[in-house]
Structure 1
Amino acid sequence: MGFMQKQVFRLGFSVLMAFCLALGLLIQPATALTDEQKLVSEVWRIVNRSYLDETFNHQNWAAVRQKALEKPLNDQKATYAAIQKMLQSLDDPFTRFLDPEQYRSLQVNTSGELTGVGLQIALDPQTGTLQVVTPIEGSPADQAGIRPRDRILKIEGISTENLTLDEAAARMRGSIGSLVTLLIEREGEGEIEVRVMRDRIALNPVVADLRLSPEGTPIGYLRLSQFNANASMELAHAISSLEKKGAAAYILDLRNNPGGLLQSGIEIARLWLNSGTVVYTVNRQGIQGSFESFGPALTDDPLVILVNQGTASASEILAGALQDNGRAQLIGETTFGKGLIQSLFELSDGSGLAVTIAKYETPQHRDINKLGIKPDTVITQEPIKREQIATEADLQYKAALELLNKNSVVSGVGK
C-alpha cells in the first residue's frame, strides 16, 4: 500500500472512528431511558407514525416529546399526566390515553361511550364540553327526558370540565338500580338537574312496520336505533318481510342513531345499493381505501331517510352513501358530524391509546367530520315524545310520506 493510500486509509478510518464515537454519544442517552420515559416515547412514536394530521396541530411534534421528557417522571401518575398533556396538544378529543382499567372496559364495549344510563356521549370539538350525542331508545336516560345536544355540566356534583370521555362514562356507570344525578344545560332552557336510575341497556336495533300513506300506498317504515353486530341481518329480514307484504316504498328512520360498528353501516348500505362506492377512508397520505357495493339490492323501491342532530358516525356514513349514489332522499336536520376513525393500541404496561388515524368521506368526497350531512329537505321540529314518532305529530315523518306521494315515485311499481 503506497504512502498516499495509507494516509487516505488512516484518514478514512479516523473519520469512521469519530463517526462511531459520535453515534455512540447519540445512542447512549436512549439506552438509558427509564421505564417511565420509554412509555412516553412509545406513545409519541405511535402518534408520530399514524396520526391523521401530519402537522400535529401545527406544532413541532419532536419538540413536544423533548418537553415531555424534560421533567422528572418518578412514578406512574406523573408519567400518565405527561402523556395526557402531550396528547392534549393535538386538540383532538378522540385521541386519548387510557389507563389499564379504562383500556379493559373499552375493549369490552364496542363504542366505549355507552354507559349504564344509556347515553352516547362525545366532547364538543369547538368548546370541549361534554355533550350528549343521543340517548339509547328506551334507556333510563331516554325515559328521563335527556336529549341530543344536551351538555352535561356535572356528574354527581363533579364538574365534567376536565374529565375525559372515559372518566365521564366511568362516573355514570354503576350497579343496576343505583341513582346518578346529572346537571344538564340545554339550549334555551338553561340548567336542569336530572336523576337517572342505572339499568342494563337492552338494544333491539330494528323496528319495522307496514303503513299506508293517505293515498293508500303501502309504505315500509323501518327505524334503526344502533349499528350493532346484528343490525344488518335484522334489517335484511325486515326488508324481505315488508317486500312480501307488498311495500312499494320505504322510510328509513335514522334519527337519534348514534352509530356503532362501521362494518354494520357498510353492510346496511349494500342492502339498498346495486353498485357504487359506500364510503372512502382517508389517512394523512390521502385515500387509504374504499368500500364498494356489488349488489343485488334487496329492493329498488323508492327510499326516504329521516335524519336529525342525533344521527351520528355510522348513521352518517349510511345516509351519505345513499344520498350521494342517488338512492335516497334525506329529510330532517343536518346530522351530528362525527367522521373520524380511531385505532386502539395496547401499550407495554397494559394501558392503551386511542388514536385518530383516518377520516371518512362520502362517495362524492364530502368530509363528514364537524360538518355533518345536510338533508335534501330541511325540516326542523321540536323534540317529540317516543310514542309520537312516525305519527301525525311527527313533521319529518309526514314530510317523507308527502315526498313519496308528490313525486308519484310509487305509482306503477309492480310486485
Structure 2
Amino acid sequence: MRAFSFSLSSSSPPPPPPPSPPRKNPNSNLIIPNTLRTILLKSTAIALSFSLVASPPFFPSAPAVASENIAASASVDLCGEARREEEETKEPNLTNESLVEEAWEVVNQSFLPDAGTRPWSSELWLKKKEDIRQSRIQTRSRAHDIIRKMLASIGDPYTRFLSPDEFAKMAKYDMTGIGVNLKEIPDTDGSVKLKVLGIILDGPAHSAGVRQGDELLSVNGIDVSGKSAFDVSSLLQGPKETFVTIEVKHNDCSPIESIKVERQITARTPVFYRLDKMESGDSSVGYIRIKEFNALAKKDLVIALKRLQDSGASYFVLDLRDNLGGLVQAGIEIAKLFLEKGETIISTAGRDHQVQNSFVAETSPFVKAPLVVMVNHRTASASEIVASSLHDNCKAVLVGERTFGKGLIQSVFELHDGSGVVVTIGKYITPTHMDINGNGIQPDFDKLPGLNEVRNYLSQCQLQRAG
C-alpha cells in the first residue's frame, strides 16, 4: 500500500448537497489543508493532503550506536529496507470489487460521524462491505456508481466521489507550483527537516526525479533549514514554465542531488490594497482585499500592510467578502500577523487524535492597529477561520452579513485507478468554542463604524475577556 496525501480548503463554491429533504443548517465549512496524517489502510489507497495536522516521519530514526561500523551497517539496513518497501508498494492487479472496498475503507477509518445528516452506524457501514463482497462488479463505471451511492448514503454533501478527470484537477491546489507537498518532520537531534509528504504522480517534480519522502535542503541556493514548509512553498512558487533548482536527499544513505524543475502552476496575488482618507480628513485607512488564500497571500499581505503603514494608515479594513477560502494554512498564517504570542487561532476536532489540534500564534503581531474585517454570506472556510480568530481574540470587529458557515475539514484520497474520494474528517472550533459549521459567524455591525467606535468596541471586548 502506498499513501501520500494533501488536505484542502476549497476556493471554489462548495458543492450542492445531493437531492434530499431540506435541513435546518445545510451549510458546512471546508479547506483543503492543511494536513491529515497518512492513514494506513488495509487496501491500497493514496491519500493526498495539504498540511493541517502533524504527519509521522517517513523514515524511523535509527537507535544511537557506539560503533561507526555498526552505524554504517544500520544505514545499509535502512537503505535495503527502503528498497524493499518501494518494491512492495508496486500496484497489484486491481479488481472492481477491491476498488469499491478501498473507498469503503477510507470512509471507515477517517469519516467524522457527526458530519452527515443521518446517524452514523458502524454496523450498517459494515453491512455495505459485506454486500460488496457478495456481488460481482462487471465494469469500472459500475464500480464508480456503487462508490457514489455508497458515499451519498452517509448524508454528507462534502463526502463525495471524484472521477479520474475530476481528481486530476486537484493539482490546482498545489502550493508549490511543482507538484509537491512539504511537511516539517522532527529529526533525532531536535532539529526539523523538510520532507516531501506527497507528490503528484507525473507532475513536474516527480518527472524531474523528486520522490515521496525526499528531504529538501535548498531552493535556488537558499538553505531552507529552519524555515517553515509554508514559507518554502512560497520560495518554490514562480511564473509558469520557469525553472527552480532544488537540492534533495532521497534518504539518509544517498548523496545530495541537485534537481532542476520546471514550474507548472503559478499563484497570482490575491491581495489588492489602497490608502483612503476618511471624510473627517484627520486619519487614513488602509483598505485590503483578499480574494482567496493561496501560497502568496501571506507574503503579499505583509507587503501591503507595511506600505500602508508607511503611508500613514491609522487602521485597516480587511475585506473578506466573497472569499470562499483556499489554503487553510494560508489563513492560519495570516491570522498570526495580528495576534499576540500564545493566542489561539483555531482548533480542530475529529475521530483521529492527530486531527485534534489547536493552532496558536508563536510571535508578536506584525501590526497592532485597529482592524475591521468585512464579511458576507459568501465568506467561507479559511476566511471564516481568519474572521473568527481575529474577532474572538478582540483584534477586529466584523462588519456585514452572517458568514456562510462551513466548518468541516475534508481530505482527498486517491484510489488506485486514478479516481478519488473526498471525505469529511474533522471540523473547526473557534477560540470561543463555537462550531462554525451550519451556523456561520454573526458580524458586530451591518455598516462600517467610525474609528472611535471601533476602538471602543475592541476595548470593551478586551475588558470582558480579561474579566
Q: Same fold (TM over 0.5)?
A: yes
Is the 8 Å Cα contact of residues 110 and 261 (structure 1) preserved in structure 2?
A: no
Question: Which residue is 1:61 aligned to?
Answer: 125
Tell me the matched-pair count. 269
Q: Does 1:211 align with 2:276?
A: yes
* Structure 2 residue 465 is matched with structure 1 residue 405: no
- Partner residue of 2:107? 47
Q: Tell me what 1:362 maps to.
A: 430
Q: CA deviation at 1:69?
A: 4.1
1:72 aligns with 2:127: no
Cα drift, residue 109 of structure 1 = 4.1
Q: For 2:385 and 2:455, locate their aligned partners in 1 and report how far apart those are by CA, in whole Å.
A: 28
SS of 2:156 mapped into structure 1: coil
Match in the other structure for 1:136: none
Structure 1 residue 61 displacement after superposition: 1.0
1:269 aligns with 2:335: yes
Structure-2 residue corresponding to 1:278? 345
| Alignment of structure 1 residues 94-243 onto 2, 5 Å | 94-109=158-173, 203-215=268-280, 216-243=282-309
* Letter paired with 2:104: W
Q: Which position in structure 2 is the counterpart of 1:22?
A: none
Who wins on radius of gyration, i.e. which is larger? 1
Deviation at 1:203, TM superposition (A): 4.6
Are the equivalent residues in 1 in contact too, given 2:269–2:300 (CA < 8 A)? no
The secondary structure found in structure 2 opposite 1:221 is: strand
Q: After alignment, is 339-348 or 51-60 more displaced?
A: 51-60
Greater RCO (CA < 8 Å, at least 6 residues apart): 2
> How far off is 1:67 after superposition?
3.2
Structure 2 counterparts to residues 264-413 of structure 1, below 5 A: 264-275=330-341, 276-284=343-351, 288-377=356-445, 379=446, 396=447, 399-400=448-449, 402=450, 404-406=451-453
Specify the SS of the correspondent of 1:251.
strand
SS in 1 for 2:365: coil
Deviation sequence 1:286-321 (CA, Å, 0-9, x none): 771111112221111111111000111110000000
Which sits farther off after the overlay, 211-220 or 312-321?
211-220
In 1: Cα distance, 2:381 partner to 2:410 partner? 12
Quote how far apart the aligned CAs of 1:71 are.
3.9
Determine the C-alpha separation between the residues in 1 that align with 2:455 and 2:267: 39
Post-superposition CA distance 1:337-394 (Å, at most 9, x none): 11111111121222212111111111112111121111112x2xxxxxxxxxxxxxxx
Structure 2, unaligned runs of 5 or more? 1-92, 176-265, 458-467
Cross-structure match for 1:86 = 150
**4+ residue segments displaced more than 6 Å:** none
**Further displaced range: 311-320 or 51-60:** 51-60
Deviation, structure 1 residue 324? 0.7
Amino acid across the alignment from 1:225: K
List gaps (5 residues or longer) in structure 1.
Answer: 1-32, 112-200, 380-395, 411-415
Provide the C-alpha distance between the structure 2 equivalents of 1:274 and 1:317, rounded to a whole number of angstroms: 16
Question: Cα offset for 1:204?
Answer: 3.4
CA distance in 1, matches of 2:401, 2:421: 34
Which residue of the partner structure matches residue 248 of structure 1?
314
How much has 1:405 moved relative to structure 2? 3.1
Match of 1:257 in 2: 323
Deviations 1:5-51 (A, max 9, x none): xxxxxxxxxxxxxxxxxxxxxxxxxxxx9811111111111111111
Deviates more, 1:346-355 or 1:330-339: 346-355
Contact 1:211 1:220 survives alignment (8 Å): yes
Alpha-carbon distance between aligned partners in 2 of 1:39 and 1:310, rounded to the nearest angstrom: 36
Give, in whole Å, the separation in 2 of the partners of 1:344 and 1:214. 49
2:50 — aligned with what? none
Alignment deviations for residues 149-169 of structure 1 (CA, whole Å, 9 cap, x no partner):
xxxxxxxxxxxxxxxxxxxxx
Q: In structure 2, what is the Cα distance between the partners aligned to 1:229 and 1:214?
A: 36
Check 1:231–1:246 CA distance in 2 against 1; reply closer, same or farther (3 A cut): same
Deviation, 1:72, is 3.0
Identity rate, percent: 42
TM-score by length of 1: 0.61
> Following TM superposition, by how much is the alpha carbon of 1:87 offset from its aligned partner in structure 2, in angstroms?
0.4
What amino acid is the match of 2:110?
S
Measure how far apart 1:406 and its partner are. 3.3
What code does the residue aligned with 2:345 have?
V
Change (3 A) 1:50 1:253: same
CA distance in 1, matches of 2:293, 2:406: 15
> Quick one: distance in 2 between partners of 1:407 and 1:358?
34
What RMSD, in angstroms, separates the aligned Cα atoms of the two structures? 2.5
Does the residue aligned with 1:354 lie in a helix, a strand or coil? Answer: strand
Rate the CA distance shift 1:298–1:54 in 2: closer, same or farther, 3 A. closer
| Residues 408 and 352 of structure 1, relative CA distance in 2, 3 Å threshold | closer
* 2:427 counterpart SS class: strand
